[in-house]
């Protein structure tokens, strides 16, 4: 049986990018631990299918549409748990990246986190309770060869998360980031397909465990940070990366 402190019963959770990959595993975990989950994803049909299966709700949402993010959170909130998971990556050496790449990667990976947090935080402050978990990346701590723009966005997420933690620690709200290493999802497979040969092996070897992570291993950390058990943990960046970033 699940310890009481891990139960999320009665908690409402908003999960961006929750239709597949890591976000899907997060939605499944939070729902299994009792949360009422709203899955927000660009792919509204996939979000709706998953929601139906796990007893959640779904909304088609492009997190880069900042005005709509605010409307959706106002309409479907208030939320006790906010998980910023939606993200995009591309493998490209810096001189091959364009300003358009910069804008697109920062819009999804960083600016959207501003928008959801701005919309969800006031209700958490009023309730005196909240859990914000932002899915960053080890790239945001270590940098990334072939991922400078992505790393810049994820580094921004980590600094933003710490700042939200500092401002809200006395209001019952925690804010933590998770830094996954290579996790076997469509995003990883796409990024690897656009990179040099042997990239997947190199990423795998960079972990201390010598294997890729699973989406559920990230989701387990999210569910813990969202629970009462983690009330004294805030402003942290938790590597879920097979030790890839240990010591960072």
Shortest Cβ 100–ligand NAD spacing (Å): 15
Count of other CB atoms within 10 angstroms of residue 157: 25
CB of 184 to ligand NAD, least distance (A): 7
Assess whether 224 carries a catalytic annotation. no
**Rounded Cα gap, residues 33 and 54, in angstroms:** 11
Q: Identify which of residues 25 and 228 has a Cβ nearer to ligand NAD in the complex.
A: 25
Pick the catalytic residue from 150, 158, 168, 207.
Answer: 150
Rounded least distance, CB 248 to ligand NAD, Å:
14
Nearest CB to ligand NAD, comparing residues 74 and 126: 74
Q: Which is nearer to ligand NAD, 19 or 230 (CB)?
A: 19
Instruction: Point out which residues bind ligand NAD (CB under 6 A).
Output: 16-17, 19-23, 41-43, 61-64, 85-89, 108, 135, 137, 180, 182-183, 185-188
Which residue, 32 or 200, is less far from ligand NAD as judged by CB? 200
Q: How far is the CB of 26 from ligand NAD (least distance, A)?
A: 9
Catalytic residues: 150
């Amino acid at each position: 049986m699940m310890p009481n402190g891990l139960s999320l019963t009665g908690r409402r959770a908003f999960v961006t990018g929750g239709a597949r990959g890591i976000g899907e595993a997060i939605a499944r975990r939070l729902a299994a631990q009792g949360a009422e989950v709203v899955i927000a994803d660009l792919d509204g049909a996939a979000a709706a299918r998953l929601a139906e299966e796990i007893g959640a709700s779904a909304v088609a949402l492009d997190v880069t549409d900042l005005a709509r993010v605010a409307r959706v959170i106002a309409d479907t909130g208030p939320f006790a748990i906010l998980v910023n998971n939606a993200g995009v990556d591309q493998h490209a050496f810096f001189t091959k990246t364009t300003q358009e790449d910069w804008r697109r990667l920062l819009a999804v990976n960083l600016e959207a986190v501003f928008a959801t947090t701005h919309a969800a935080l006031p209700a958490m402050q009023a309730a005196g309770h909240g859990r914000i978990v932002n899915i960053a990346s080890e790239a945001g701590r270590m940098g990334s060869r072939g991922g400078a723009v992505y790393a810049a966005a994820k580094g921004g997420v980590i600094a933003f998360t710490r700042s939200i933690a500092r401002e809200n620690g006395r209001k019952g709200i925690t804010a933590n980031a998770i830094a996954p290493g290579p996790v076997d999802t469509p995003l990883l497979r796409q990024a690897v397909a656009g990179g040099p040969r042997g990239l997947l092996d190199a990423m795998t070897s960079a972990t201390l465990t010598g294997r890729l992570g699973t989406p559920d291993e990230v989701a387990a950390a999210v569910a813990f940070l969202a629970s009462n058990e983690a009330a004294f943990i805030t402003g942290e960046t938790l590597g879920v990366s097979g030790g890839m970033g240990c010591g960072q």
